[in-house]
Amino acid sequence: MSDKPIRRIGIIGTGVIGASWTALYLAKGLKVVATDVAPNAEAALRKFVEKAWPALERLGLSPGASQSNLWFTPALAQAVANADLIQENGPERIDFKQKLYGELDQMLSPDVIVASSSSGLTMSEIQKGAASHPERCVIAHPFNPPHLIPLVEIVGGAKTSEETIRRAAEFYTSIGQKTVRLNKEMPGHVANRLQGALAREVYYLVAEGVVSAADVDTALSWGPGLRWGIMGNMMLNHLGGGPGGIEHFFQQFTGPMTAWWKTLGSPVLSPEVQKKLIDSVHAEVGSRTIADLEAERDEVLLGLLELRKKAQQAAAPHTVAAE
| Amino acid letter, 181 | R
Provide, rounded to whole angstroms, the least separation between the CB of residue 1 and its own copies: 24
Half-sphere exposure of 139 (CA within 13 A, CB side): 32
Provide, rounded to whole angstroms, the least separation between the CB of residue 197 and its own copies: 4
Give the residue with the Cβ less far from its own copies, 224 or 317. 224
Provide, rounded to whole angstroms, the least separation between the CB of residue 181 and its own copies: 6
Provide, rounded to whole angstroms, the least separation between the CB of residue 216 and its own copies: 6
Give the residue with the Cβ less far from its own copies, 81 or 180. 180
Provide, rounded to whole angstroms, the least separation between the CB of residue 33 and its own copies: 27
Give the residue with the Cβ less far from its own copies, 3 or 279. 279
Provide, rounded to whole angstroms, the least separation between the CB of residue 35 and its own copies: 23
| Amino acid letter, 19 | A
Under 8 Å between Cβ of 159 and 169: no
Give the residue with the Cβ less far from its own copies, 31 or 189. 189
